[in-house]
Amino acid sequence: IYAYQQENIGIIGEGLIEGNGKQWSKDWRKQQKPDKKRLRQMGNDVIPDEERVFANGFLDLDGDGEDDGYGDGKTHYLRPSLILFYDCDNILLEGFTAQHSPFWTIHLPFCQNVTARQLNIYGEVLNDDGIDPDSSVDVLIEDCYIETHDDAIAIKAGRDQDAWERGPSRNIIIRNCVLNSGVNAFAVGSEMSGGVEEVFIEDCQLKAGQHALNFKTNLDRGGAVQNIFIRRIQADSLEKALFIFRMDYHGYRGNQYPTRFNDFYVNDLQCNYVGGNALQIVGVEEQPIERIWLKDIQVEEAGQPARIEQARDIVYENIQINEQKWTYDSSAE
């Protein structure tokens, strides 16, 4: 389901959108590497979007009915999203079930004024993210149940050079959702080079996965993630971490454009079990993670309390991990 530069779009009411993507997603993944490499090189070279022609397509910008030379007439294997609205305004997604997408289930690049409410989303393959706002503004996601193999909700903002001159994802509210992921319940990135700011997450249940809240990037990305507000989160069982920043996400190509993370406000997180570090805040020397405020966090059982490196201005109050009060030696900053 696709729309480009449209407005006043609604998918509303009970019903099932079935992607049937499990098997052919696996088949296409085996053949996608040349197309993935080509597309990422186009992003690196900042090729105009309309010239990135795949899927037996052609481009006719001058209206003469002839290909302008950007398509190659060959079969390609870039997996599509189940629902993709590109550069659209005034979107309402409400009340339906979407499942078994071959790639990201609901992808919203460059959209404005979006409401996603009372959705049920199910996935079963790698890269089956539930809802991905991407360089989008004024987004509300509420009262949804999302159960995916990959990220349940991931806020994105483009990849590397391709996004540095584009707008950020901004003014996003996520509330009253139940998220059950094989990887990350909630994520920012790893494609976030245009920036992510003014995000509010509250009153959500995070059932299972590797991480509850993952802010992920690598040194190719650049950009900034800032002014993130999180409160009243209940997590159950996590394999690796409750709350994690990482600068070493896979796919790194050798550049040196560290992302800036600053101004995070986290209040009232409760978690039953974490296999690794309850808190992991790890920056890099040239770009430390800055100004993280943590209050009223309780982790019943964790493999390790915390790992904090290349970070500064960590302010905390009332953090309990493994039934002990956690303290941080700020002199190590």
Whole-number pLDDT of residue 128: 96
Residue type, 6: Q
Q: Where are the domains of the chain?
A: 1-31+82-150, 33-78, 158-333
| pTM across the whole model | 0.96
User: Percent of the chain at pLDDT above 90?
Assistant: 86
26: three-class secondary structure by DSSP: helix
Is the pLDDT at 332 greater than 70? The verdict is no
Residue type, 238: L
263: three-class secondary structure by DSSP: strand
- Residue 82 has which token pair? 């189940």
Average pLDDT over residues 49-63: 84
CATH class for domain 158-333?
mainly beta
- Residue 149 has which token pair? 């193999």
Average pLDDT over residues 34-62: 88
Average pLDDT over residues 15-26: 95
Average pLDDT over residues 57-86: 88
* CATH number of the domain located at residue range(s) 1-31+82-150 in this protein: 2.160.20.10
Residue 331: pLDDT band by 50, 70, 90 thresholds?
low
Is the pLDDT at 61 greater than 80? The verdict is yes
Buried b (16+ CB within 10 A) or exposed e, 256-293: ebbbbbbbbbbbbbbbebbebbbbbbbbeeebbbbebe
β-pair partners for 293: 265, 315
| Segment 151-183, tens digit of pLDDT | 999 999 999 999 999 999 999 999 999 999 999
Per-chain mean pLDDT for the chain: 94
Residue 260: pLDDT band by 50, 70, 90 thresholds?
very high
User: Percent of the chain at pLDDT above 70?
Assistant: 99
Average pLDDT over residues 10-16: 97
Residues 6+ apart with CB under 8 A from 105: 19, 81, 82, 83, 98, 99, 121, 123, 128, 129, 130, 131, 148
Assess whether the region 1-31+82-150 and the region 158-333 belong to the same CATH fold. Answer: yes
| Segment 100-145, tens digit of pLDDT | 999 999 999 999 999 999 999 999 999 999 999 999 999 999 999 9
Is the pLDDT at 278 greater than 80? The verdict is yes
Other Cβ atoms closer than 10 A to 16? 9
Pairing assessment for the beta strands 324-325 and 311-321 based on DSSP bridges: antiparallel
Whole-number pLDDT of residue 172: 98
Q: Where are the alpha helices (DSSP H) in 239-282?
A: none
CA distance linking residue 182 with residue 41, whole number of Å = 29
* No. of helices (H) and no. of strands (E), the chain: 2, 22
